[in-house]
Chain A
């Protein structure tokens, strides 16, 4: 729970900011809406009755109408007679006074038609201008608008198709992900540009705004029906979240598990646990603070020309304002930004390319969904601040917290809008929203407070758990003592010191992850005078692996005495292991045979990690991966057929690195793998050092990466270095 103290402080700061700034800047605060949707319909029916109409059985529709982005507001109610019997309309001001009425069959109260804005008219010539987004406007406007809609629809279909394919294949090829990213970028830009500057509704609003500022007109603009450009219904939002998340999962690979842990738990219907509870609670609390950011921008006075616009105005008349408050559209953006673009761009090098793409896309996406101001500049600036806040939250927590915060930042404003109205029934609409807030927060805090009962990330050794005897205290002590003996025996099985050969240095080590391990390395003096070095890894863990490790060691010792031929050694060890190994056990082995004088190195690989051959003189690192199956998996013939022994010539300063997957698959606390590339870089960084110095430095690099995360697997590393002052050229 302690980790929620900071989010709680952010939430309190947010509430204080909103209490201070909302009444000063939000257009909703000066709206004074007195009626709810049902009250407006009831009063319209009364009005109809006063006009001699019996409208009890007529269908009623109420709609918001915002006259400019910042208001004023009217509620339009239509009573529709059955069988096209006509429509009775009434428009109500926010304060509950009647704006106008229209009887069935009568002409509209004002002329409908194309946009009419007479910029020549002066103050003495006051004119009423009627504008509706449903008006056709000029034919050029109409074409632009139509083209935009078609383009937008096409992009949506294409993007959706890609996401669906990605989601259901559960694996998105990286190249496809890049194409998709490019498409999404174009789509985002087209949508943003379209909605801010080319969309007719916005064009109209902008010109009306300008005229209002000039103060020359008494303007009445009806943009009712325009709606928000990117409205997403809750079912489609859930669909998008699923699709985008699945696509994100398919590109994220094995990385970033921690950021997705809470989401993973949710998809497995594990709702009440520490990771989910903590993420949701953090998101809810931080969302309150983040919601205050646009108000601080407004208060700063940086963007003097722009004002906050109405948001969530539909909450005033929606049948279920709670659904309006908990709009899931921001969650779609959150998952797209953090769940898709972030993993897609993760591999981009150099990092400036990655951030140069990711940050603008994130800013535009956030600015687009949470457009708070009447000018694009102010929106972009606010979007940058909001995006920075969400990114920080993602870094400190995870995807779920960022998603929740985006939704919460929206959901906290709706009750505020409703509560700032004087009408009792409108105010009352805020109650269910506040109740859902309270319930969600309480549930998530309760889940977060349940501590360790969620699935934890830590790796716990199960060695003792599987041994029943270990469950009693004395039994456990005895077992531990026996394991200690086994551990010691294994340690003794490893070579006490590397062989000393002129012109070379050699160093090796093996650290078991548990008390006993399945890794092995050994040196052999072959009969033909060459030196053999082998690294092996038995599948599985614990006692069974340890026993097979000892078997392998014995087999290697025996066969290397019989023959100096790597192919023969491999085949014989395989044949024996195939005979003794249980079916699910196999051993991977890699070995080299070094002719010190000729500097010739033979190597073979049986299902083991490749050998790294560092050649500082040529500035290259070669990954040696000759074909070869793991041992104990197949009988002789097939193994023999596939195994290939290769040979290379060493030069001064060269290093040959043999290792086990305990190095490449070591994980840090973020569950990222160390990987072959990091190992190669570590090997390249120790050019010129002796084998022992190289080995120590590489392991130090690994330790710095895992940063205390307990190892999952045995770590084995052998380095052979050709001395730099080689006299045997």
Chain B
């Protein structure tokens, strides 16, 4: 079960939507990291991580968000997070993520956030 983690990538204009499903922990975080790295390498700096299918996230999983967001923002991009289930949101909340990231209910709201002039900064 802990191995069951998938990332599906879709494009919406110049925004990449990464839909994550299952358990994001120390075992599966490298896969998530690789997916984001691929987007960054391809020059796509505006990312939405759709966590609707995410059932569990550990600190290692949260670390992946941290490892990219600064660089992305430097390059004019960002990571927006959407679709968090309540119990997963609590984990983000304990760590203080809502102060660092735009966390919105769904993809459309995340896309809208990209259209707003200024996002959050580290």
Interface of A toward B, CB cutoff 8 Å: 169-171, 253-254, 257-258, 261, 264, 268, 455, 457, 459, 462, 537-542, 582-586, 588, 606-610, 625, 627-630, 633-635, 638, 642, 661, 665, 671, 712-713
User: Are A586's CB and B55's CB within 8 A?
Assistant: no
Q: Which of B39-47, B95-103, B111-119 contacts A (4 or more CB under 8 A)?
A: B95-103
A584–B85 alpha-carbon span in the complex (Å): 23
Q: Which residues from chain B contact A257 at a C-beta distance below 8 Å?
A: 1, 55
Q: From B26, B63, B94, give the contact of A609 (CB < 8 A).
A: B94
Q: From B1, B58, B64, B88, give the contact of A261 (CB < 8 A).
A: B1
Q: From B33, B95, B122, give the contact of A584 (CB < 8 A).
A: B33
Query: A355 CB to closest chain B CB, in angstroms?
Result: 24
User: Are B1's CB and A258's CB within 8 A?
Assistant: yes
Q: Which residues from chain A contact B66 at a C-beta distance below 8 Å?
A: 583-584, 586, 633
**17 chain-A/chain-B pairs, Cβ below 8 angstroms:** A261-B1, A455-B1, A539-B59, A539-B62, A542-B26, A582-B67, A584-B60, A584-B66, A586-B63, A588-B59, A607-B96, A609-B94, A630-B95, A633-B66, A634-B122, A635-B122, A642-B99
User: Are B52's CB and A462's CB within 8 A?
Assistant: no
A635–B100 alpha-carbon span in the complex (Å): 12
Q: Which residues from chain B contact A462 at a C-beta distance below 8 Å?
A: 26-27
User: Are A671's CB and B60's CB within 8 A?
Assistant: no
- Tell me, yes or no, whether B12 is within 8 Å of chain A by CB: no
- Say yes or no: A254-B2 contact (C-beta < 8 A), given A584-B64, A712-B25: no
Nearest residue (CB) in B for A582 is: B67
Nearest residue (CB) in B for A610 is: B94
Q: Which residues from chain B contact A630 at a C-beta distance below 8 Å?
A: 62, 95-96
Q: What are the nearest 10 A-B pairs in CB distance?
A: A584-B67, A539-B59, A629-B96, A584-B63, A170-B52, A607-B95, A583-B67, A541-B26, A540-B60, A539-B63
Query: B97 CB to closest chain A CB, in angstroms?
Result: 8
User: Are A642's CB and B96's CB within 8 A?
Assistant: yes
A505–B55 alpha-carbon span in the complex (Å): 38
A77–B33 alpha-carbon span in the complex (Å): 66
User: Are A170's CB and B94's CB within 8 A?
Assistant: no
User: Are A633's CB and B55's CB within 8 A?
Assistant: no
Query: A222 CB to closest chain B CB, in angstroms?
Result: 52
Q: Which residues from chain B contact A261 at a C-beta distance below 8 Å?
A: 1
A542–B58 alpha-carbon span in the complex (Å): 14
Q: Which residues from chain A contact B27 at a C-beta distance below 8 Å?
A: 462
User: Are B63's CB and A585's CB within 8 A?
Assistant: yes
User: Are B100's CB and A634's CB within 8 A?
Assistant: yes
Summarize A's interface: helix, strand, loop or mixed.
loop
Nearest residue (CB) in B for A713 is: B58
Q: Which residues from chain A contact B106 at a C-beta distance below 8 Å?
A: 169
Nearest residue (CB) in A for B67 is: A584
Nearest residue (CB) in A for B25 is: A712
Query: A609 CB to closest chain B CB, in angstroms?
Result: 6
Interface size on B (CB < 8 Å)?
Answer: 39
User: Are A633's CB and B100's CB within 8 A?
Assistant: yes
Chain B contacts with A in 73-113, Cβ cutoff 8 A: 83, 85-88, 91, 94-96, 99-100, 106
Interface of B toward A, CB cutoff 8 Å: 1-4, 6, 25-27, 29, 33, 52-53, 55-56, 58-60, 62-64, 66-68, 70-71, 83, 85-88, 91, 94-96, 99-100, 106, 121-122
User: Are B94's CB and A457's CB within 8 A?
Assistant: no
Query: B45 CB to closest chain A CB, in angstroms?
Result: 16
Q: Which residues from chain B contact A586 at a C-beta distance below 8 Å?
A: 59, 62-63, 66, 95
Q: Which residues from chain A contact B59 at a C-beta distance below 8 Å?
A: 537-540, 586, 588, 661
- Say yes or no: A254-B56 contact (C-beta < 8 A), given A455-B3, A583-B67: yes
Nearest residue (CB) in A for B83 is: A171
Q: Which residues from chain B contact A253 at a C-beta distance below 8 Å?
A: 55, 85-87
Q: Which residues from chain B contact A635 at a C-beta distance below 8 Å?
A: 122
User: Are B95's CB and A170's CB within 8 A?
Assistant: no
User: Are A170's CB and B83's CB within 8 A?
Assistant: yes
A582–B66 alpha-carbon span in the complex (Å): 10
Q: From B3, B70, B85, give the contact of A583 (CB < 8 A).
A: B70
Nearest residue (CB) in B for A174 is: B86
Query: B64 CB to closest chain A CB, in angstroms?
Result: 6
Query: A118 CB to closest chain B CB, in angstroms?
Result: 64
- Say yes or no: A264-B4 contact (C-beta < 8 A), given A257-B55, A583-B70: yes
User: Are B26's CB and A540's CB within 8 A?
Assistant: yes
Of listed B64, B86, B95, B96, residue having the most chain A CB within 10 A: B96
A588–B91 alpha-carbon span in the complex (Å): 12
A298–B43 alpha-carbon span in the complex (Å): 71
Q: Which residues from chain A contact B29 at a C-beta distance below 8 Å?
A: 540
Q: Which residues from chain A contact B83 at a C-beta distance below 8 Å?
A: 170-171
Query: B24 CB to closest chain A CB, in angstroms?
Result: 12
Q: From B1, B60, B71, B88, give the contact of A457 (CB < 8 A).
A: B1
Of listed A253, A538, A633, residue having the most chain B CB within 10 A: A633
Nearest residue (CB) in B for A585 is: B63
A261–B55 alpha-carbon span in the complex (Å): 13
Of listed A537, A584, A606, residue having the most chain B CB within 10 A: A584
A633–B63 alpha-carbon span in the complex (Å): 9
A717–B3 alpha-carbon span in the complex (Å): 28
Nearest residue (CB) in B for A627 is: B96
A634–B64 alpha-carbon span in the complex (Å): 14
Query: A280 CB to closest chain B CB, in angstroms?
Result: 19
- Say yes or no: A607-B94 contact (C-beta < 8 A), given A540-B63, A583-B70: yes
A223–B13 alpha-carbon span in the complex (Å): 59
Q: Which residues from chain B contact A671 at a C-beta distance below 8 Å?
A: 1
Q: Which residues from chain A contact B68 at a C-beta distance below 8 Å?
A: 583
User: Are B60's CB and A541's CB within 8 A?
Assistant: yes
A258–B2 alpha-carbon span in the complex (Å): 11
- Say yes or no: A254-B60 contact (C-beta < 8 A), given A171-B52, A634-B122: no
Q: Which residues from chain A contact B63 at a C-beta distance below 8 Å?
A: 539-540, 584-586
Of listed B3, B53, B59, B62, residue having the most chain A CB within 10 A: B59
Q: Which residues from chain A contact B33 at a C-beta distance below 8 Å?
A: 584
A531–B121 alpha-carbon span in the complex (Å): 36
Nearest residue (CB) in A for B3 is: A455
Query: A179 CB to closest chain B CB, in angstroms?
Result: 17
Query: A39 CB to closest chain B CB, in angstroms?
Result: 52
Q: Which residues from chain B contact A588 at a C-beta distance below 8 Å?
A: 59, 94-95
User: Are A254's CB and B52's CB within 8 A?
Assistant: no
